[in-house]
Structure 1
């Protein structure tokens, strides 16, 4: 039987019995003494069965089973979650809620939090996972507890902290196809009975898997990434501890820049001017690059301080953060060897944030969480024409823009036990968002043109009624509100002469979400099911009016569906995970939707005009009704299994994960650039020594060799296609002592 047929059958069963992946390892701190899974989705430690939010909870063991190396890989074990890119911009989507907008001060619709700290930069969000304990994916708007830009949900990454329990070292090396090599290490050193130090690092390199037909079929795509983090934890008193961390990381990986021309059924080949033989390719393993190489490089420094204090009546946590993230992109936007237009895009991103979180003690009938939040992000883009090269003396200044976003918020969320079976949760967050010191640069000059400040206030409430018929069962109904903050369109409408350089005021997106759910957890079974309905307004979209992309509120949407997953411990040695989702996501009305049309299809006169301006495609603004939302497959599902057996005095673990996605559209209008259904399979076999001091493993990823689009890049010069990596496999060796 074909893999796709098998996956479809598994998916159909999973839809009938949905819920989230189970955190399986007690040492990860995700399992309580009574076996309950513990999560922090409501900013305090609680049993997952008692939290009225759809959650996918992934332990370090579950991540290894699915060959998860980077944050984007968790989409293989999380129903209704996609990770897409636009060039180097990382854009997650949950249940159809995501964004294709890339601009200064824009940001995504899914909040990413690492150890409690907000990470807002879409150019640095897809990171390598080092010493991860667990990842929680919260689905649905999280505007009350997590704030701005969490209309789709939030992803919470928790990593290991320094510990005074003893000195320790863990390390592993991997080597696989395409000369890919990885080395990772984590060391913990006890300085005293109250102070501990940790040091961790990672190095990854590999050869690219694509070849350039414009350069004698030379291999392209070599990458080299590395990072390290140092942490110091001190227990100042019996009730106060401090954790200080510094991380530095560097990325040199052009893979998201390397695109072939898209051969699309929408209007034909996506090559410039219909395609000049030998200057383009539609092959999945080939590109046709110009004379200037594509690059993506980033340099990140992060300083974080966490203070925890037991105040007697409540616990106080302070999160203080500084982030400096600078990146450089250089991309051929015609996806050919013609050197029509290569854009250079440096980005300078600086973030300051401070949060104070106060949580009640466990026990009383009233449980609550409150806090104050401050956030400031300065995001500066500089654009160049890089047709002559990437060096500073070769590029031509094209323009640029910058914004400084400031956000102030106060929130309170409380759950009251009305009876032992009925619970009421209510909360609200009041936010003030400001855009200040914004400016744009006139083309070919460095002159900064200031833009008026913007200020918006937003209240995002939440109400939940939960019924608990048994200690291991919950039924809930919830209403939550979320929003994506306003944008100053400094990169678009501000720079259009035809509008007298008037900037669009792009209002916040707004979503009202309703959800009912059921949770059960007992005797080796963890089960969740949820049905949801979203009313989604003022979608921020990028459209073309006068040849320049501008951002407007141009769409309203309706989303509803079912989802969930199941974890079943069949025997102590055999476990199964399964999950699935159905998402019906439609633009109810999309004004001036960007529909791409080949110039040649508009007649001889239009084709000549396009050629004179050096472009191959134009956008025909079209009003659409009841069409699918972009990058939203109706069905996604996975099934994973793990089997353990004694072998040679040690333990053999066999595991695998099969993921399926139905078809969807990459185009911003939701009707163009289709990707058909596909499936991927990850396999792993690991033998661990009796004392767990070392292990050896063999692994394979995408062993079905499914070739599917990971990006469809659209511009006026060409339509580009990025394809999934072919099958990869390799060996791993790890030590721990």
Structure 2
């Protein structure tokens, strides 16, 4: 009956959405409309019509982002089938596409989906879910992108494009929104045309609101947040063939919502209460948490400088992308999920990134189109660990440990498409990359300088509480240096001007990891050799695009090996190559302009993702279900509620991978006087999935969300006023399940929210 009610509710929502015209998951951007409905994308590092690009792409316009109430990058999941944004706790956010997304949190780690903002790589999982500023469009590329985008793009890539300063004239525009829980959003953009060659822009945003949860320990509301950002840009046409774009952005976030968890209670596992479930110390209520006396928080501070130089060389176009990022995070999170002060950790992170890329693109129009590039990347991260039981200010914290690495990557790539005969195209590309981990170290417990004894009898003496792996275990450093070659080859046939079919093979990889955050710092002090993940991907697809109608469909098969998995035990996470997987599925999407005023949009994805082989998979078992000796001698002395027991798994569902995701919507505009009334919305549905790393535990049932918007646009689009609602079905689901020996925590999505927004443009 439950399944019947769920199915009925989904189809009912689809019917309501179709009858009350709305817009969801839009494939067409303003740029596309300006080009006679031809959608222009940069998935192959050059501007091309989407119908001619042999990659599954979801392209989302700025209007579609507003329609779906998208304010953070993670929100695009509700307009992109097969994409998920999941948190690993403590602010770590990692996207996954079609089941590719290993949840690894450690020094030198990273996600399986590359995030690029205006062409620049953003590697830090603590900065993956950022607020969006002046976005023109977002492209989600599905499938490995190892040739053109390189390391850590086994699942795909997300390309965010924002507006540049313009010499067309001076403009000022802004948006103000006020909603439930005193949520206030303010965004503004000012453009100054200094001359016909030089322009500046200044943009900023502020997001603040009250939390919707209450702490049963104090009875007070928790979760208040305030995030703000500023970006300044300058664009100059230095000559008729050279232009320069320089940007600096700064952002600060004070947002604890992702760290506020109650006790997990799932249909498959049951109540995961800590410490045997001491009455009054925990809650499973969606709107409540149980916290100790030390407040939990998440604060970040980032500065980013980006310099883009473009030059027309006559035979080709050159682009230089230079970037510096400095990101600092300070946070405190309780990992016993109770009102008792058992264990609260401070987990600050310092992250610094340098990158340089050169792109050389052929001129459009000829039978041979090519892209060549050089890429350098350096990321230095420092993870600190504190015990915050006495307080989270610097004088109260007790330093427990930490780790750090410097990760470098060097790459060169070439990708070309040739029309071998009329309407038949061959694309071939290859990338060579060298990844290495340098200066890897871990901090000893409490920064002790007591010598440690390795398995082979060697003695390693820490220096100021740091153990450098190169000094104590040089073999581990050598294992983390890898040369990788990632090719791709594609056959594409263009049946006519509007239709393409293609078949492709691509290879991707996720870089090797030095496990300095886990096994390195636990006896016998030997680092796991965490090899790169690798994926071989095969895809066939078809694309059709005429004025007012766009259709895409694809079938894919992935052979996915050496998955990197975090095993959380006693407050640390050991990283291992734990599984091989097979993934295959079908995906489709459409946009149909029924009339100039009425548009339909939709997309769906079916993904069959299974661990073929997962030896010693982590399965969480209650201490109360184990023998008396284990309970007395292992669980009780260490305050453990659960133990992780290894289990060999075959043909099991992969972690965090729903089999079906889809979105459906429409938009209807009514001309009234000199303005327009637009009714729009976004329906998203996902089937059930499992949060647990073994794919067998901590089930989240399927759910749907619906966003609605009614907007009045004034004459010449100079102003608008809108009423909006997000999650209007008030669906409640777990967005994060955190598992450890001490207890299981759950973070819930927000209840229904609604509000009003006004905007202006002069």
Q: In which range does the TM-score fall when normalised by the shorter chain?
A: over 0.9
Distance 2:41 2:299 in 1: 35
Q: Which residue of structure 1 lines up, in the alignment, with residue 56 of structure 2?
A: 54
* Contact persistence 1:7–1:659 (CA under 8 A): no
Q: Decide whether the 8 Å contact of 1:260 with 1:280 is kept in 2.
A: yes
2:698 to 647, 662, 673: 673
Aligned to 1:615: 640
Matched with 1:91 is 94
Taking the aligned partners of 2:568 and 2:679, their CA distance within structure 1 comes to: 51
Deviations 1:69-90 (A, max 9, x none): 1100100110100011011101
Residue aligning to 2:758? 733
User: How far apart in 2 are the matches of 1:420 and 1:666?
Assistant: 49
Checking the alignment, whether the CA contact within 8 Å between 2:622 and 2:643 is kept in structure 1 is: yes
User: What is the CA–CA distance in structure 2 between the aligned matches of 1:312 and 1:272, rounded to whole Å?
Assistant: 67
Which runs of structure 2 are paired with 1:525-604 in the superposition (5 Å)? 525-543=549-567, 548-604=572-628
1:46 to 1:244, Cα distance in 2 relative to 1, 3 A: same
How many Å separate the matches in 1 of 2:361 and 2:331? 42
Structure 1 residues 469 and 21, CA, compared in 2 at 3 Å: closer, same or farther?
farther
Contact 2:37 2:548 in 1 (8 A): no
Shift of 1:7: 2.9
Could you say which residue in structure 1 is the equivalent of 2:657? 632
> For residues 280 and 571 of structure 1, what CA distance do their matches in structure 2 show?
55
Query: Which residue in 1 is equivalent to 2:540?
Result: 516
Q: Answer yes or no: is 1:243 the counterpart of 2:249.
A: no
The 5 Å alignment of 1:137-156 reads: 137-156=140-159
Matches within 5 A, 1:419-458: 419-445=421-447, 447-452=465-470, 453=477, 454-458=480-484
Among residues 210, 214, 217, which one is paired with 1:214 in the alignment? 217
Question: What is the deviation of 1:268?
Answer: 3.0
- Superposition deviation, residue 634 in structure 1: 0.1
Question: Secondary structure, in 3 states, of the residue corresponding to 1:418?
Answer: strand
The equivalent residue for 1:459 is 485
Report the CA distance between 1:2 and its aligned residue: 6.5
Is contact 1:250–1:298 with CA below 8 Å preserved after alignment?
yes
In structure 1, the partner of 2:500 is: 474
Q: What TM-score comes out, normalization by structure 2 length?
A: 0.93
Indicate how the Cα distance of structure 1 residues 367 and 577 shifts in structure 2: closer, same or farther if over 3 A, else same: same
Cα distance in 1 for residues equivalent to 2:592 and 2:109 = 41
Matched, 1:375 2:377: yes
Matched position secondary structure for 1:75? helix
**Counterpart contact for 1:592–1:621, Cα < 8 Å:** yes
SS in 1 for 2:64: helix
Q: Distance in 2 between matches of 1:8 and 1:370?
A: 48
Q: Secondary structure at the match of 2:300?
A: strand
- Checking the alignment, whether the CA contact within 8 Å between 1:32 and 1:38 is kept in structure 2 is no
Contact in 2 for aligned 1:21/1:565 (Cα 8 Å): no
Does structure 2 conserve the Cα–Cα contact (< 8 Å) formed by 1:113 and 1:155?
A: yes
> Does the residue aligned with 2:217 lie in a helix, a strand or coil?
helix
- 2:118/2:159 contact within 8 Å kept: yes
2:193 matched residue in structure 1 = 190
Tell me which residue corresponds to 1:17.
Answer: none
Give unpaired runs (5+ residues) of structure 1.
15-19
For 2:390 and 2:381, the matched residues in 1 are separated by 27
CA distance in 2, matches of 1:25, 1:111: 22
Specify which of 395, 398, 411 is matched with residue 396 of structure 1: 398
Secondary structure, in 3 states, of the residue corresponding to 2:96?
A: strand
Contact 1:557 1:586 in 2 (8 A): yes
Partners of 1:294 and 1:423 in 2: how far apart? 56
SS in structure 2 opposite 1:72? helix
Deviations along 1:392-413, one digit per CA (max 9) or x if unpaired, are 1111111000000000000000
Q: Answer yes or no: is the 8 Å Cα contact 1:543–1:592 preserved in 2.
A: no
Query: Quick check: 1:340–1:717 contact (8 Å CA) kept in 2?
Result: no
Q: How does 1:121-270 map to 2 (within 5 A)?
A: 121-215=124-218, 217-270=219-272
Q: Take 1:313 and 1:3, find their aligned partners in 2: how far apart are those partners?
A: 58
Q: Which runs of structure 2 are paired with 1:103-118 in the superposition (5 Å)?
A: 103-118=106-121
Paired with 2:38 and 2:9, the residues of 1 have a C-alpha distance of: 32
Rounded Cα–Cα distance in structure 1 between residues aligned with 2:343 and 2:301: 26
Of 320, 324, 327, which residue of structure 1 is paired with 2:326? 324
Alignment check: 8 A CA contact 2:120 2:323 kept:
yes
- TM-superposed CA distance for 1:572, in Å, is 0.2
Structure 2, unmatched stretches of 5+, are 18-23, 448-463, 471-476
Q: How many residues align?
A: 726
Partner of residue 24, structure 1: 28
The equivalent of 2:719 in structure 1 is: 694
Cα shift at 1:100: 1.2
Contact 1:31 1:38 in 2 (8 A): no
The answer to whether the 8 Å contact 1:111/1:119 transfers is yes
Q: Distance in 2 between matches of 1:410 and 1:522?
A: 37
What TM-score comes out, normalization by structure 1 length?
0.97
Residue 74 of structure 2: SS of its match in structure 1? helix
- 1:40 corresponds to: 42
What is aligned with 2:83? 81
Structure 1 position 691, deviation (Å): 2.3
Distance in 2 (alpha carbons) for counterparts of 1:175 and 1:22: 25
Counterpart-to-counterpart distance in 2, 1:456 and 1:422:
36
Q: 1:310 to 1:177 in 2, by over 3 A?
A: same
**Structure 1, 71-80 or 614-623: larger mean CA deviation:** 614-623
